């Protein structure tokens, strides 16, 4: 029996918070290989449950880390740089306990987290010389030339389509039958000895073309899973693993709501069978313009505890120029009222506000914070990261061509330190408004980590 080892590597960054993250692409591959009879194991270096890290917010929380030397590209940021996740002794023990694999597959989610993936590749090379190593994830999809030049991997998974992934696996393992296997409808989360939460993706891509987002590049065609299959998978996860928290990571969960998310949530409500304690989360921004009375009522009845709206900016003309007119200030305010009427409070609701995007002035960011507060929502500051392949990345690259060659320069903390005093002013104002909004509400832990 051939052995395949999956690795979700360390994160090397200034901070790392686990909002229910799971390497779903890697787990999907592992599920198919396991079902096909392969001996498959996972080393998830940033799995907080496995690390024994405490929860702060509905099964989410900080990932433990240790300080390491700061890379030269980020030397000007006056913060400690850390490696978050498993210690080396534990990693080596897990690596050797599995034995020599026939294939190692490693993922890398963010472009500026590649150092953790490279480190995992080096550790595998040291332990098992000659073993084939494949590298995938958003880093490879967006920075393939960099990965080919510097990672040390043998082959790559730049495409996001399941057909391309399955075909690469079939060729690598010399097993033609793998190319015909469909993507799994139910992910095997049994790779985790301790499981506190489940991540869900029910669609791929986004019909909008925001100038700061790579969703359309990663998935040129927008597609959605069959709602009944999603509801059945959720029921399966609840019954099999006993988890309470499940997070949807779609880029466009509410698009076509009546034929997609409504049917999923109706299916969840019908199949709960006494599992009313399930909690659902939307850490990715959802389109406020798609919030209707029915959508809000279903979300509340299903048990959503984290709902984030994508406002980004209330500046005049912003959404006409930068986000395909996906939202207006009036529609945002209407969505807030609708969600509140359904029963949601500021403990569950928030709106993402962009800071550092080229062309957005600090004054406009402060104005957006006030608009979010006036709507009765908490502001969740989202610092800008230049994403290759987007129009705003090109704006950044014209000023700093090095951003094309060094993915570390995509780090979202960089924009905070271009003008530290201004960023601190914005952050302080967001905190003041949020604290005022939360005053008098019961403390549920929902405000932690935002």
pLDDT tens for 296-338 read 999 999 999 999 999 999 998 888 888 777 888 889 999 999 9
Question: Mean pLDDT across the stretch 54-64?
Answer: 92
What pLDDT shows up at residue 74?
Answer: 96
Edge-to-edge, what's the strand order for the sheet holding 132-136? Answer: 39-44, 3-8, 103-107, 132-136, 155-157
Residue reference for tokens 């924009």: 415
Is the separation of the CB atoms in 125 and 97 below 8 Å? no
Q: What share of the chain is helix, strand, coil (3-state, %, to 5)?
A: 45, 20, 40
pLDDT at 317: 86
The pLDDT score that the predictor gives to residue 319 is 85
Q: In this predicted model, what pLDDT tens digit does every residue of 173-230 receive, in sequence order?
A: 999 999 999 999 999 999 999 999 999 999 999 999 899 999 988 999 999 999 999 9
Compute the radius of gyration of the chain from its Cα atoms.
22
* Helix H or strand E encompassing 136: strand 132-136
At 357-406, the pLDDT tens digits run 998 999 999 999 999 999 999 999 999 999 999 999 999 999 999 999 99
pLDDT at 373: 96
Structure confidence at residue 276 as a pLDDT band (50, 70, 90): low
Q: How far apart are CA 26 and CA 7, in angstroms?
A: 8
Q: Say how many CA atoms lie within 13 Å of 7 toward its Cβ.
A: 28
pLDDT tens-place string over residues 15-55? 999 999 999 999 999 999 999 999 999 999 999 999 999 99
Q: On the CB side of 163, how many CA atoms lie within 13 Å of its CA?
A: 0
Q: In this predicted model, which residue has the larger pLDDT, 420 or 322? A: 420
- Beta strands (DSSP E) in 165-234 are 197-200, 203-204, 223-224
Whole-angstrom distance, CA of residue 324 vs CA of residue 95: 47
User: Tokens 């500051």 — which residue?
Assistant: 381
3-state SS assignment for residue 367: helix
pLDDT of 243: 92
Q: What is the pLDDT of residue 444?
A: 53
The answer on pLDDT for 344 being more than 50 is yes
Cβ–Cβ < 8 Å for 342, 354: no
Quick check: 286 pLDDT over 60? yes
Read off the pLDDT band of 57 (50, 70, 90).
Answer: confident
For residues 307 and 400, what is the distance between their CA atoms, to the nearest angstrom?
35
> What pTM does this model have?
0.94
Residue 238 has pLDDT above 90, yes or no: yes
pLDDT at residue 356 is higher than 90:
yes
Write down the pLDDT at residue 440: 67
Identify any residues that bridge with 197 across adjacent strands, giving them in sequence order.
245
Q: Give pLDDT, residue 449.
A: 42
CB atoms within 10 A of CB 226: 13
Strand partners, 282: 307
212 in Cβ contact with 392 (< 8 Å):
yes
Average pLDDT over residues 336-356: 96
Question: Taking 80 as the threshold, does the pLDDT of residue 446 lie above it?
Answer: no
Measure the CA–CA gap between 174 and 227, rounded to whole angstroms: 34
User: Which residue would you say has higher pLDDT here, 445 or 313?
Assistant: 313
CB proximity list for 110: less than 8 A, separation 6 or greater: 138, 139, 385, 410
Residue with tokens 């207006």: 328
| Phi/psi at 137 (5° precision) | 105, 175
Q: What is the pLDDT of residues 75-134, one digit of tens each?
A: 999 999 999 999 999 999 999 999 999 999 999 999 999 999 999 999 999 999 999 999
């Amino acid at each position: 029996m051939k052995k395949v080892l999956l690795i979700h590597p360390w994160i090397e960054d200034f901070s790392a918070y686990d909002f229910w993250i799971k390497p779903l692409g890697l787990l999907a591959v592992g599920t198919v290989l396991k079902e096909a009879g392969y001996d498959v194991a996972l080393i998830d270096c940033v799995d907080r449950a496995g690390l024994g890290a405490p929860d702060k917010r509905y099964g989410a929380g900080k990932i433990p880390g240790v300080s390491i030397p700061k890379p030269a590209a980020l030397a000007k940021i006056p913060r400690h740089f850390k490696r978050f996740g498993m210690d080396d002794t534990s990693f080596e023990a897990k690596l050797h306990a599995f034995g020599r694999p026939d294939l190692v597959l490693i993922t890398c989610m963010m472009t500026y987290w590649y150092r953790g993936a490279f480190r995992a590749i080096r550790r595998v090379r040291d332990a098992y010389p000659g073993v084939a190593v494949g590298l995938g994830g958003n880093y490879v999809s967006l920075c393939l030339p960099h990965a080919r030049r510097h990672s040390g991997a043998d082959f790559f998974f730049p495409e996001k389509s399941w057909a391309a992934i399955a075909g690469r696996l079939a060729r690598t393992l010399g097993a033609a039958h793998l190319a015909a296997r469909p993507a799994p409808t139910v992910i095997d989360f049994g790779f985790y000895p301790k499981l506190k939460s489940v991540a869900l993706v029910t669609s791929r891509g986004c019909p909008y073309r925001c100038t700061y987002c790579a969703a359309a590049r990663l998935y040129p065609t927008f597609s959605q899973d069959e709602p009944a299959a999603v509801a059945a998978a959720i029921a399966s996860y609840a019954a099999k693993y006993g988890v309470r928290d499940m997070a949807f990571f779609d880029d466009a969960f509410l698009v076509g709501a009546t034929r997609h998310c409504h049917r999923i949530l109706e299916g969840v409500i019908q199949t709960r069978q006494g599992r009313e304690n399930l909690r659902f989360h939307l850490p990715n921004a959802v389109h406020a313009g798609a919030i209707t009375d029915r959508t809000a009522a279903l979300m509340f009845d299903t048990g959503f505890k984290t709902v984030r709206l994508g406002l980004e900016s209330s500046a005049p003309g912003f959404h006409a120029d930068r986000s395909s007119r996906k939202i207006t200030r009036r529609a945002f305010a209407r969505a807030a009222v609708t969600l509140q009427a359904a029963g949601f409070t500021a403990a569950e609701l928030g709106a993402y506000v962009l800071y550092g995007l080229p062309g957005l002035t600090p004054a406009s960011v402060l104005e957006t914070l006030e608009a979010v507060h006036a709507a009765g929502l908490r502001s969740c500051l989202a610092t800008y990261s230049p994403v290759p392949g987007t129009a705003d990345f090109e704006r950044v690259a014209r000023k700093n061509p090095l951003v094309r060659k060094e993915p570390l320069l995509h780090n979202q903390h960089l924009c905070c330190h271009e003008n530290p005093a201004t960023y601190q002013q914005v952050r302080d104002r967001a905190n003041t408004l949020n604290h005022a909004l939360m005053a008098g509400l019961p403390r549920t832990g929902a405000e932690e980590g935002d």
